[in-house]
Amino acid sequence: MSQIFEYLIAAALVLGGIFGLVGSFGLVKLNDPMSRLHAPTKATTLGVGGVLIASMIHAIASEGHLSWHELLITLFLFLTAPITANFIAKAHIHRHETPQSLPPAGEDGLWATHDVPASPEAAPTAPLARD
Amino acid sequence: MRMFARIFPHPLLTGLLTLVWLLLVNRYSINSLLFGLLLGTVIPFITRPYWPDRPALRNPLKILAYLLIVIWDIVVANFTVARIVLFKSNASRHPAWITIPLELRKPEAITVLAGTITLTPGTVSADLSAEGHYLLVHCLDAPDPDAVRDEIKTRYERRLMEIFE
């Protein structure tokens, strides 16, 4: 494998590693749950992306053909990252936000997570203890 | 023609599934193409009850342009968020909830918009209003929430309107 390819692969891996680290550091440093959600959903995209680019360059340089798996992984990542973030955000709204603590939802009245039909059997919803 | 629509309720999905299968196999051969086509026929057929409508897509060129813009924004988003995480103290950061009034009505279009918002600079879409007319978005650092709202509306929603509605 030529020297240039090795440098390119190394650079992509280091870049990916840095972004992965920044994403994880954001989890520790940011101070409220919703802000913490930002670091892993975004900084990690380029973190994983760097590793995938390195893998593609490696396939071209050492095996001489283009590998398509990396594109698929990127696609699946782009599909799943927003859904995961949305689930975590909804769980947060459900447990720690009230309709008063969020901005008003215009003529719709409530945000979907708070729009729960009242059922007579359900126990009165006491706010869950913060863990 | 109706027979065709019964067997292939979503021709685009059939094509996409075949393509994904070929990419998974990672090497083109007639065997994997046929098996991909089989999967692309069976899966949309079985899951048809969950996809009653076929979203009408217009302007394939606009879809490509939208994808390129979003991918570029994702790369920029990574650097923006990394800078905020590394160099901005928690006290000088302005996290904010913002409300985006939606003009999009199709569920597929709103899903794409919400996904785009989550992947791009400093914003995560958190919830939809009860009737689906507003999107609740959390900003990591928004000194001017109105500007963020206007940018999302002009940069992404306007383009999605042209593609979907």
**How crowded is residue A114: how many other Cβ atoms within 10 Å of its Cβ?**
17
- Tell whether B70 is covered by a domain: yes
Please list the residues that pair with B138 across neighbouring strands.
B97, B124
Residues B152, B84: one domain? yes
Residues B122, B154: one domain? yes
Buried b (16+ CB within 10 A) or exposed e, B92-119: ebebbbbbbebebeeebbbbbbbbbbbb
What is the gyration radius of the CA atoms in chain B, in angstroms?
Answer: 20
Please list the residues that pair with B137 across neighbouring strands.
B98, B125
On whether any CB of chain B is under 8 Å from the CB of A38, the answer is: yes
Which of chain B's residues have a Cβ under 8 Å away from the Cβ of A22?
A: 81-82, 85-86
Residues B78, B46: one domain? no
Which of chain A's residues have a Cβ under 8 Å away from the Cβ of B114?
A: 82, 86
On whether any CB of chain A is under 8 Å from the CB of B85, the answer is: yes
The pLDDT value given to residue A12: 92
Q: What is the mean pLDDT of each run of 10 residues along chain A (131 residues)?
A: 85 91 85 80 78 88 80 83 86 84 78 73 50 44
Q: Is B26 close to A69, i.e. CB distance below 8 A?
A: yes
Which of chain B's residues have a Cβ under 8 Å away from the Cβ of A85?
A: 118, 124-125
Residues B153, B113: one domain? yes
Residues B37, B118: one domain? no
Residues B26, B86: one domain? no
- Tell whether B120 is covered by a domain: yes
> Which DSSP string corresponds to B4-19?
HHHH-S-HHHHHHHHH
Residues B96, B125: one domain? yes
Residues B156, B104: one domain? yes
Order of strands across the sheet that contains B134-139: B96-101, B134-139, B123-128
- Give the range of the structural domain holding residue B84, as residue numbers without chain letter: 62-164
In the stretch 82-101 of chain A, residues with CB closer than 8 A to chain B read 82-83, 85-86, 89-90, 92-93
Residue of B154, B108, B150 lying closest to B132 (CA atoms): B108
0.95 surpassed by pTM: no
Residues B113-156: tens digit of each pLDDT? 888 888 876 788 888 888 888 888 888 888 888 888 888 888 88
The pLDDT value given to residue A11: 93
Side-chain half-sphere CA neighbours of B88 within 13 A: 19
Q: Is A72 close to B101, i.e. CB distance below 8 A?
A: no
| Confidence check: pLDDT of B20 > 50 | yes
Q: How many domains does chain B have?
A: 2
Coil, helix or strand at residue B56: coil
Q: A57 vs chain B: nearest CA distance in angstroms?
A: 15
Residues B1-13: tens digit of each pLDDT? 566 666 677 777 8
What is the gyration radius of the CA atoms in chain A, in angstroms?
Answer: 21
Please list the residues that pair with B134 across neighbouring strands.
B101
| B20 class by beta-carbon count within 10 Å (0-12 exposed, 13-18 middle, 19+ buried) | middle
**ipTM for the assembly:** 0.76
